[in-house]
Structure formats: structure tokens, C-alpha cells
Structure 1
Amino acid sequence: MQALTLPAAQGWRWLTDGFRIYRKNHLMLTLLVVSYWVLMALVNIIPVLGTVATTLCIPAFSVSLMNACRRIDHGSPLSPQLLFSGFASNLRGLLILGAIYLAATIGILAVSALADGGALMAMMLAGQKPAEEVVNDSSLLLATQIALIFLCPLMMAYWYAPVLAGWHGLSPAKALFFSFVACLRNWRAFLVYSLAIIVVATLVPGLILGILATLLPGSAALLAIVMTVLLILVLAPTLFASFYISYRDVFVTFEDDA
């Protein structure tokens, strides 16, 4: 499978085209994303098993949301049942991807434990608050930096892997390989894409909030809450749509019309 190499500016268009898809059916896409979050949060309440179950299912749910975005792109209607549509295609491969992701994440956190004695690992897997001395001596920060270094290639391998496995029936190994190669070839576009998200998610809302707080003194806290909720409800579905757009652009010759 050959991935296209796109110009850096394409990273910005992924976000803008993602917003275009969001606008076409913003209510249903938002409902699907929020339902996904709520379902995952409810399952995560179960200690240990909840974390394992949700991680295993993330690739299948990713395909479900990509199915929704593709249907919007093709002008087809959406339904709540689409939230589980990803479980109907190559489920075994998607579950294996989830298992590999879980094992790799635990391995990365285990490596980071060499720096902070396992504080980051306990916080991420068990929700345990790190000890104050670990925070103060910067060992937690060092562990976080180590984890991010290893998580970057992991995310590259997983960016397109669920779609490649779910839509094209690739084995988990091939899906991870082609995803990593595609991200590596398009690192410039992904860099611009990341910067665009930072601008849209932090700088622009911060500027708007600052102006509103100046015009409406005494209501900064309420404005911050309203701005945060609106940002989440708009940006999150837009980001899922932008994931689909990036796949459609990079693997354009493999897009089917289903």
C-alpha cells in the first residue's frame, strides 16, 4: 500500500475540512462523540478491567466514528447505531490492535518508571495521585518526557491503523506499518496540523475569553465554563472529522464508496 506525501499546508486544511464535515451534520456527529465518551467513562468506572476493556475497544469505536464522518462526506444520513458499526468489520484485528496498544502503553510507562519510581504509571493506570516529593523533585516531569518520546512513534503507528484494518481488512501488523510510514512521510503536514489545533484550541479561545472578560467584568468564571463547554462540543467532533479527512487525503486511492 502506497501512501501519498502531501504538502505542509495540507495539515491546516485537514482541520478546516473537518469543520466543514462537522457543520454538515453537527448535531448527530456531536451526539455520537459524546455518547462514545459517556460509554467509555461508564466502563472505566470498573477498576482495572474497565481500563482494559475500553482500550481494547478504542480501535473499533474509532472505525465507528470514521464511518459516521465518511457517511457525512458522502451525503448519507446518520443514526445512533453507527456508534457500534466499527465492531462489524474485522473485529478480531481491531481487538488485537487494542491489545497491542495497551501492551505498548504499559511497556512505555514501565520504562518511564525508571525515572519516577512508577508514579506516572500509577497515575495513568490506577488514577493514583503522585506523591508531593515526586512532583517537587521533577522526577515526574522527567518520566512524562520519557513517555512522550516513546508515545510519539506509537501514535504514528496507530493513527491510521484502525481504519486500515477495519475498512481494508489489513492485518494488525500491516496496518501499524502502513500507518507509521504514512505519518512519517507526511510529518510536515502533521506538524502544521498540530500547530493549527493549538491555535484553535487555546490561543483563539483565550483571546476571545480575554476580550469578553474585559467587556463583562465579574463574569470571567462563567464565561470560562461556557467557552470550555462550547469548545469541547465543537472541537472534538471536528477533530474526529479531521482524522477522516487526513486518511482520505493520504490514502486517496484506497477510499471506497461504501
Structure 2
Amino acid sequence: MKLKLVRAFTGATWVKLGIQTYAKQPLALTGLFFMFMALMSVATMVPLIGLPIAMMVLPAITLGLMAATREAIQGKFPMPLILLSGLRAGPVKLRAMFSLGAMYATGFMCAMGVSYLVDGGGFANMYLGGHVPDRDMMESNAFMAAMWTFIGLHLPLSLLFWHAPALVYWHDLSPVKAMFFSIVACFRNFWALTVFALLWMLVMVGMMLGIMTLSSLLGSASLAGTLLFPGLMLVASMFFTSLYFTFRDSFEADLPVKELDLP
């Protein structure tokens, strides 16, 4: 397997392909994304161990969304069980996925723990949904320092795992090798990923401005609040649909990539 260099403009192509693929199977891909969110939410509700469990299964479930995109590209209707693709591919890949999950959960909890030490837990409680900070807290130096500390620690963690589940699943790499190739690929295609991220931010902002403009034109202040959450979920669904293309175009396989073969 070889890493593949792409132009910066490829980031825009990934966004376009994500939106186009989502449009082919909007009901299936939206439903799968909501199932993904529900699984994460239910897991985090378990006291003490809920968050680590959610973070442990996150790489495997994200792989499931990428597999769903691949199914949609092939003109198929992705079924709900595809979310568990990484957990249903045999004992070897199951162990690899759990290893990835354990390493990601450890890294995430460490990053969150360091941010907790910076401001006494203000940012951590806000991020994890347990506390709504007031304006004074959000404007405090400690809160901002904790936020940037978490971002600084979580960003390299995200790059390590950006392609790793897909490399384990489709290219049979070990978890450590998959993480290595993932972060190297992300750095080599830095500008393409930067364009990709910036365009998705613009899509999200554009959607929010559109909803607020529509609400203003119709003279309904409550309309914006009603439509904002579904709109954000729509953009998030399309974003996750586009992740597969960042993986597909970043690697050139020496051998054909395996087709999905679910038991």
C-alpha cells in the first residue's frame, strides 16, 4: 500500500462527493447517522464507564458510516447492521478494532483530564454536556486555556485515527501501523484536508445563516430554533458521508481493496 498525494482542491471534491452521495440515499444515511448518535448518547449515560465505552466504540462505528458511504456509491441501500461492520468481520479485526478503540479512549480521556487540570473542569463539564457555563466562565482565561489545551491535544489524536479504522478493515493493517499511516497521510495531504475542513465550516455557517434569514423573512423568531438542530444534523450527516472519500483518495493499494464481506 502506498500513500497518495492529492492537490489542495481535492478537499473541495471530497465535500462535493459527500453531498452527492448523501443525496443518493438521504433516508438511509440520515437514519444511520441518527443511530450512530443514539448509540453514543446511550453509552455516555452509563455512570463512570459510559464515556470511555463510547470513545472505545467510536472508531468502529465511524468505520460503519464509511462502509455505508461505500455501499451508497455502489448503488446499494445501506442497512442498519452496516454500522457494526468493524465488529462483525471476524475475531482478528474485532480485536484490532477494540485495540484502536482502547487507544483512542485512553488518548481522549487523557486530553480531557489535562484540560480539567487547567481550569478545574469548567471546559470538560461543558464539552461533555454536564454543565452549561455562564458568560463569565466562558470568557475567563482559565476556560480558554483549557479549551485550547484540549484542542491542541485532541487534534493529533484525531489525525492518528482519521484513516486508522478503514486501514485495519480494508487493508488488514495492524492498529499501530494503521495509526502511523493515518497521521502520515494526513500530514502529506494537509492542504486538501484543510480545504475540506474549511468548506464544511462554510457549509455549516451558510446553513445557519439561511435558517436565520428565512426565520426573519417569515417573521417567526421560533422558526430558527425549530430548524437549527435538524439543519446541523443534516450537515453532520453529509460530513460523515464524505469521510470515506478522504480515505479512498489518500491511499493506493498494491492489492485490490476487499469488498465488504459481512457474515
TM-score between both structures, scaled by the size of structure 1: 0.89
Aligned counterparts of 2:208 and 2:229: Cα–Cα separation in 1 = 10
Q: What CA deviation, in whole Å up to 9, does each residue of 1:102-153 have, x standing for no partner?
A: 1112222333344213433455568356698754532011111111112111
* Pairwise CA distance, 1:97: 1.0
Tell me the secondary structure at the aligned position of residue 223 of structure 1: helix
Uncovered stretches (5+) of structure 2, i.e. residues with no partner = none
Letter in 1 for 2:118: A
Cα 1:112–1:49 shift into 2, 3 Å: closer
| Offset, 1:244 | 0.3
Question: 2:119 matched to which residue of 1?
Answer: 116
Residue 227 of structure 2: aligned partner: 226
Q: Is the 8 A contact 2:119 2:142 kept in 1?
A: yes
| AA matched with 1:209 | I
Aligned amino acid, residue 46 of structure 2? I
Checking the alignment, whether the CA contact within 8 Å between 2:160 and 2:179 is kept in structure 1 is yes
Long gaps (5+) in structure 1: none
Q: Does 1:171 align with 2:174?
A: yes
Aligned to 2:191: 188
Question: Once the two structures are superposed, what CA deviation does each residue of 1:143-194 show, in whole Å capped at 9, x if it has no partner?
Answer: 1111111211111111001111122221111111000000000110111111
Matched residue, 1:27 = 27
- 2:130 corresponds in structure 1 to 127
Residues 126/210 of structure 1: CA separation in 2 closer, same or farther (3 Å cut): closer
In structure 2, relative to structure 1, the CA distance for the partners of 1:184 and 1:208 (3 Å cut) is: same
TM-score, normalised to structure 2, is 0.88
Q: Is the 8 A contact 1:48 1:126 kept in 2?
A: no
Q: Secondary structure, in 3 states, of the residue corresponding to 2:3? A: coil
- The percentage of aligned residue pairs carrying the same residue is 33
SS in 1 for 2:253: helix
Could you tell me which of 144, 148, 166 is aligned with 2:151? 148
Task: State which drifts further: 25-34 or 204-213.
Answer: 204-213
- Tell me what 1:213 maps to: 215
Mapped contact 1:160–1:175 kept (Cα < 8 A): yes
User: Is 1:159 aligned to residue 162 of structure 2?
Assistant: yes
Is 1:12 the counterpart of 2:12 in the alignment?
A: yes
Aligned residue identity for 2:123:
L
- For each residue in 1:205-238, what CA deviation from the matched residue of structure 2 results, as whole angstroms up to 9, or x when unmatched? 2332343234211x13213422431341x32221
The answer as to whether partners of 2:60 and 2:97 remain within 8 angstroms in 1 is yes
Structure 2 CA distance for aligned equivalents of residues 123 and 207 of structure 1:
25
Residue 201 (structure 2) aligns with: 198
Name whichever of 69-78 and 130-139 sits farther off. Answer: 130-139
State the AA in 1 paired with 2:174.
Answer: S
AA in 2 matched with 1:46: V
**RMSD between superposed Cα atoms in Å:** 2.2
Question: Are the aligned partners of 1:157 and 1:176 in contact in 2 as well (CA < 8 Å)?
Answer: yes
Distance in structure 1 (CA, Å) of the matches to 2:116 and 2:79: 44
With over 3 angstroms needed to count, the CA separation of the structure-2 counterparts of 1:138 and 1:177, relative to structure 1, is same
Tell me, what secondary structure is at the counterpart of 2:2?
A: coil
Q: Is 108-117 or 49-58 further displaced after alignment? A: 108-117
2:54 aligned with 1:51: no
Q: Mean alpha-carbon deviation: is it higher for 160-169 or for 111-120?
A: 111-120
